[in-house]
Structure 1
């Protein structure tokens, strides 16, 4: 009975009005559409004119187009059909199809649209003769588009389906298997085109990976601090009253010395790390501090002391 009540309580907490569910789904699909369209735009504008086959089914499409004249957009859509069938049976069936089909259809359709209309959109096409410049911008834009798709729960299909199946069956990391597949396609491009183009394609792949991470999580402006000290009270007082930040405290024991210490945990803006170092140097120079990157922070138990004072979180996070 207790478990049933807990299940009902959690379900009630997670339920939202129907219009909110619809709005959330529409927002997700709109974001995936924009991300896939941005990918197609960068693909046609920067990768296709210079044969930058930067891995994946889209890179394979450039190679096939060069050898046979088969349209890259149509090839991307056609090649994903057997991969979708495989993914439907090997992965999370309907959820997998729902989150991936839209991105694949939009990317394929937008690619065909841009292939036909790009020369008329720009008076000069290709817009640059500098292959390195095209490599950098293709990586940036495709990474941002892919990051938006991943951030809202979608996938771009293609080789990501294969890597996810490999991960589910063997536990082999998706990032590594995906890199191996992309490197094989890039190496194939080296034989079909030339090795300089292949090297630029690999650079575009690396830039796309970094910009995708940026699009998914953004830049980190916060740092997580772990401080081990013998003088917790003076440090706690200084952090709360001088920096206006809260702190969480735990009693800990040294693994080598067996001595009792206190661990202080707080999250501050990157610009305030120096202030914390100054406080530690003045109060407890022997304290040990670790500075970590907090990619995202939210929530926290807050308590308002007075109306004239800011709210302070127990974890040092701005409410």
Structure 2
């Protein structure tokens, strides 16, 4: 299982590199988040895009390592390293002449790569890490925050290059988001109900590796009449695959029901101990 995740992180990251260097960057079309800002640095300065991507993401990943799930952040660090190295080594080359087609196809490739990385229990860093950190400190909707930050990237693109580039960047970001949703999940938050005979072990394992809170209830098997625990938690879509792996590590036989969450009221994160 770990080998499959490792391969997924490498494959997804390399697909992102192809989308950037062969489709988006040659036409001055940006991706979303810090990757887009890294592209800007690469286009307007001697700094290589890969180096800029690594330098911008590294401090966030270090902070995230201390504040978020360690396995998720370690996988994210690995993905960012592969993407940064790939952007540094792979030459920028224009595959298609049409800018709109390149925006769509480059955005789709980026979405495929990011989706594979998500399914491998990692992220490509950037604004996703910022959003998760902010949502821990402030009960602020991640989706709204990410949309706002991406809007800044689009506006900067318009002023630095031209508004055609800005609109093509918007197309690229939109396509990337749709493809990620299709590959991974199209819901920002999910509710998990975990039924297990190893309730306390599961509780300790999840709380050690996640910063979400848990509610634990006692239950009785309707057929077996055995005592069980029911754990309920709400997570973001980025954490789903990692949580599934954590559950399997403790109890492969656990029954898990995953449902869409329309809205969350109250604290979405685990309160800091005082």
TM-score by length of 2: 0.65
Which residue in 2 is equivalent to 1:286? none
Distance between the aligned counterparts of 2:31 and 2:5, measured in 1? 27
CA distance in structure 1 between the aligned counterparts of 2:112 and 2:142, rounded to whole angstroms: 19
Q: In 2, Cα distance between the equivalents of 1:42 and 1:67? A: 20
Partner of 2:81: 105
- CA deviation after TM superposition for structure 1 residue 90, in Å: 2.5
Cα deviation digits, residues 222-262 of structure 1 (max 9, x gap)? xxxxxxxxxxxxxxxxxxxxxxxxxxxxxxxxxxxxxxxxx
Q: Which residue is 1:157 aligned to?
A: 125
Distance 2:81 2:31 in 1: 20
Q: Deviations over 1:31-83 (max 9, x none)?
A: 11100100011100111111112321111112112222210001101111111
Q: Corresponding residue for 1:209?
A: 177
* Structure 2 match to 1:86: 63
Instruction: Report the Cα distance in structure 2 between the residues aligned to 1:90 and 1:181, rounded to whole angstroms.
Output: 21
| Contact 1:35–1:144 (Cα < 8 Å) also in 2 | yes
Show the counterpart of 1:43. 20
Unaligned runs of 5+ in 2: 187-274
Give the Cα–Cα distance (whole angstroms) in 2 for the partners of residues 36 and 173 of structure 1.
27
The equivalent of 2:101 in structure 1 is 133
Distance in 1 (CA, whole Å) between partners of 2:10 and 2:143 is 24
Match of 1:73 in 2: 50
Looking at structure 2, the residues matched to 181 and 174 of structure 1 have their Cα atoms a distance apart, in angstroms, of 11
1: CA distance, partners of 2:31 / 2:113: 15
Aligned to 1:52: 29
**Which residue of structure 1 aligns with residue 216 of structure 2?**
none
TM (norm. structure 1) is 0.56
Kindly report which structure 2 residues correspond to 1:1-319, keeping only aligned pairs within 5 A, or say none.
24-92=1-69, 94-115=70-91, 125-217=93-185
Tell me how far 1:84 sits from its aligned partner. 1.4
Distance 1:172 1:217 in 2: 21
Could you list the runs of 5+ residues in structure 1 that have no partner in the other structure?
1-23, 119-124, 219-319
Q: Would the aligned equivalents of 1:47 and 1:53 in 2 still touch at CA under 8 Å?
A: yes
Q: Distance in 1 between matches of 2:139 and 2:10?
A: 30
The 8 Å contact of residues 53 and 59 in structure 1, kept in 2 or not, is answered as yes
Deviation, structure 1 residue 217 = 5.0
Q: Secondary structure at the match of 1:35?
A: helix
How many angstroms apart in 1 are the aligned matches of 2:170 and 2:162? Answer: 13
Equivalent residue for 1:303? Answer: none
Q: What is the number of equivalent residue pairs in this alignment? A: 186
